[in-house]
Structure 1
Amino acid sequence: MAETREPAKRQFVNFSFFKVDPVWRRLPHEERQAGKQEFIRAIEEFSGKVIVVSYSTIGIRGDCDFMLWRIAYELELFQEQMSKALASGLGKYLTIPYSYLSMTKRSIYVDHHIHEGQDSRRLQINPGKSKYIFVYPFEKTREWYLLTKAARQGMMDEHIEIGHKYPSVKLNTTYSFGLDDQEFVVAFETDYPQDFLDLVMHLREAEGSRYTKRDTPIFTCIMKSLKETLDTLGG
């Protein structure tokens, strides 16, 4: 009798970018330290249920200070975790100028382009393997979707071939159709920012780039522990 396999579970993914109110930096040192500890405890309370990788953007962007990359199998966990974090001493001084929601999904264009440590079906993400991450929302034009599957596949094959020339850069593509304003969220992990820069320049020359509608804002982030990330806030 043939074994019945359950469908692989897909993950929800969230990239939340935070900005701290400058008023927080003028609070007494002890109050700032206590607020950071409360925030850390609120995030770590969901350990085992929500994967969280933290990144600092201090000194890199002016409109946000740090980012949390969160992955879970239940959407409600994002809400519960964030509600508790924002109720902390630090959380009361935070705004979230950018937040992108997406899900994992098997690509219709590529099954053979698999990075080391990445699930072959692209349904599970293994994050936080590199020092830097580059994140941005992405949309294709409507004209792209009116092309034949063969035409799109040909352009994606070129895209994939270019990506293979930069093995130090790992791409995580997640899908937002119907969940958020963008169609995709792309997150490139690498230890070599110069390789990512060269990759992006190379991709601009690909045929498929003419069908890009939106690929900004782009966030350059440096991975740190959550404590180290919060310490970069100046408190």
Structure 2
Amino acid sequence: MSIDDKELEDSMPATELNWTDEAIVRMKNVPFFIRKSVVRGIEQYAKDKGVNVVDADVVSRARQEREGAAVADKKRKETAAAKEETENTKEVKRQYVNFSFYKLDPAFCRLPKADQERGKKEFMTVLEEYDNSDKMILLSYTMVGIRADADIMLWRISYELEEFQKMTTKLRQTGLGTYLTVVTSYLSMTKRSIYQDMFNPEHEEDRTHIIPGKAKYLFIYPFVKKREWYLLTKFTRQGIMDEHIYVGNKYPSVKLNTTYSFGIDDFEFVVAFETDYPQDFLDLVMDLRETEGSRFTERDTPIFTCIAVSLEDAVSSLGI
């Protein structure tokens, strides 16, 4: 080591406070390339404590506090990292989803007006009870004049399966409910997709929690894939789905809600498309027919076209 290097190694940076010889000797044991920052830290500690002279004791106490702060900071970071990992790995609470389609018995319309009004009021009371409940999201639609087999539809979303049963029981006990037949009912759940959406990565998270939009139209159908689909490798299926997803992203006006029915209903999926533009949905379905994935479709009917209305307007659309 040259003389200049030795002087650099032993040098003491300029100080603002008075230092004892013993404290200065302690600093020479600190690598010269970090010595300046260490001295500044010790002097700041001394100022905070109201000390004007830095001696060996001040150096020791400053070091202890600094090491303690470093340990505490490390612990905080480890705790934060562990919390983040827990948040990322814990199971997301999933929703139950139900689409119930009702058909009115024409005999109800031949009842005395007073009986009709009473039955309608009882039915509305139950609907409003659940519409105002924090246990369920409830949306209503009409299909009067659009389909012959169903008049109105209730889209229900809840974290508790039993809520659907409780509500249905109450509806059946009303004067109007006794004349309404559930012609179709689909049960499904939300679930994180196993396929990556490279065009809209955030959409994957959307599937675990449905937040219905404000679109005027809703198109619903059950969906079953051929067993051959599940015999393909995941990589092959992802490639086929890439084309499917690409086509879907060409129609931003159409919002897709995919839910899963494996083992809890007769189908594998129930899909619900929300849009203000039926023509866009029609074009989307036509485009999807030309994709490779379409070859693996076993069933995707019946398709229900629904018009979003208020609860009161849904009931009124029955002509009562």
Q: Same fold (TM over 0.5)?
A: yes
2:106 maps to amino acid? P
Q: Using the alignment, how far apart are the partners of 1:65 and 1:115 within structure 2?
A: 37
Q: Which residue of 2 aligns with 1:102?
A: 188
| Cα displacement (A) at 1:91 | 0.3
1:111 and 1:120 in contact (8 A); partners too: no
Structure 2 counterpart SS, 1:153? helix
User: Cα–Cα, structure 1 residues 234 and 113, in superposed 2: closer, same or farther, change >3 Å?
Assistant: farther
The alpha-carbon deviation at position 98 of structure 1 amounts to 0.3
Task: Return the alpha-carbon distance in structure 2 between the equivalents of residues 7 and 44 of structure 1.
Answer: 32
Q: CA–CA distance in 1 between the matches of 2:282 and 2:213?
A: 20
Residue type of the alignment partner of 1:28? P
Scaled by the length of structure 2, what TM-score is found? Answer: 0.70
CA distance in 1 between counterparts of 2:106 and 2:224 reads 34
Which deviates more from structure 2 when the two are superposed, residues 33-42 or residues 171-180? 33-42
Runs of 4+ more than 4 Å apart: 111-116
Q: What secondary structure does 1:129 align onto?
A: coil
Normalising by the residue count of structure 1, what TM-score does the alignment of the two structures yield?
Answer: 0.95
- The 8 Å contact of residues 119 and 125 in structure 1, kept in 2 or not, is answered as no
1:75 matched residue in structure 2: 161
Highest Rg: 1 or 2?
A: 2
Larger RCO of the pair (alpha carbons < 8 Å, separation 6+):
1
2:150 to 61, 64, 89: 64
Counterpart secondary structure, 2:154: strand
Once the 2 structures are TM-superposed, how far is the Cα of residue 28 of structure 1 from its aligned partner? 1.9
Aligned equivalents of 2:93, 2:120: Cα separation in 1: 34
- Once residues 115 and 187 of structure 1 are traced to their aligned partners in structure 2, the CA distance between those partners, rounded to angstroms, is 20
Which residue of structure 1 aligns with residue 121 of structure 2?
Answer: 37
Identity %: 63
Pairing of 1:1-235 with structure 2 (within 5 A):
1=79, 2-3=82-83, 4-5=86-87, 6-46=90-130, 47-112=133-198, 114=200, 120-235=205-320
Of Structure 1 and Structure 2, the greater strand share is in 1
Query: Partners in 2 of 1:199 and 1:153 — Cα distance?
Result: 20
Distance (Å, rounded) in 2 between the aligned partners of 1:165 and 1:145 = 26
Runs (5+) with no aligned partner, structure 2: 1-78
Pair 39,14 (structure 1): closer, same or farther in 2 beyond 3 Å: same
C-alpha distance in structure 1 between counterparts of 2:115 and 2:201, whole Å: 44
Unaligned runs of 5+ in 1: none
Inter-partner Cα distance in structure 2 for 1:126 and 1:22: 35
Whether the aligned pair in 2 keeps the contact of 1:8 and 1:123 (CA below 8 Å) is yes
Larger CA deviation: 132-141 vs 27-36? 27-36
Shift in Å, 1:111: 4.6
Contact 1:133 1:223 (C-alpha < 8 Å) held by counterparts:
yes
Q: Which piece of structure 1 moves more, 23-32 or 8-17?
A: 23-32
> Amino acid of the residue matched to residue 12 of structure 1?
Y
Alignment size in residue pairs: 234
Per the TM alignment, residue 61 of structure 1 is displaced from its structure 2 partner at its CA by: 0.3
